[in-house]
């Protein structure tokens, strides 16, 4: 078996570059939101209230259940968390 190297884990597990890019973006936003929520030093219930979601939904986010969140939903949550999301567009090396 030939050894393969990937730029990210998403490139390794997804069938298409588009799917990998979407998961990478969602992952980055989820991590940023989680960091903000952890720095609030409040209960999950209070954090959920600040974000305008239920506590079980926040729990899904904090546990990294990426399939439960669209990129659009995560961008909205990031804004509620006081974050600004920017998209960088670049041509692929291919």
Residue whose entry in the numeric block shows the structure tokens 């899904």:
60
Please write the tens of the pLDDT for every residue from 35-76. 999 999 999 999 999 999 999 999 999 999 999 999 999 999
Rounded CA separation 15/29 (Å) = 22
Considering the entire predicted model, what is its pTM?
0.84
Let me know if domain 14-80 sits in CATH 3.40.50.300: no
Residues constituting the chain: 94
Rounded CA separation 37/77 (Å) = 11
Would you list the domain boundaries of the chain? 14-80
Q: Could you tell me which residues come within 8 angstroms of residue 12 by beta carbon, excluding any fewer than 6 positions away?
A: 4, 6
Please write the tens of the pLDDT for every residue from 84-93. 999 888 887 7
Radius of gyration of the chain (CA): 15
């Amino acid at each position: 078996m030939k050894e393969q190297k990937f730029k990210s884990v998403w490139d390794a597990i997804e069938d298409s570059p588009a799917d990998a890019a979407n998961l990478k973006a969602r992952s980055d936003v989820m991590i940023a939101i989680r960091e903000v929520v952890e720095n609030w030093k409040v209960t999950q219930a209070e954090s959920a209230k600040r974000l305008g979601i239920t506590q079980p939904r926040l729990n899904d986010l904090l546990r990294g259940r990426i399939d439960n969140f669209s990129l659009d939903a995560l961008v909205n949550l990031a804004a509620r968390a006081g974050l600004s999301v920017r998209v960088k567009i670049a041509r692929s090396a291919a």
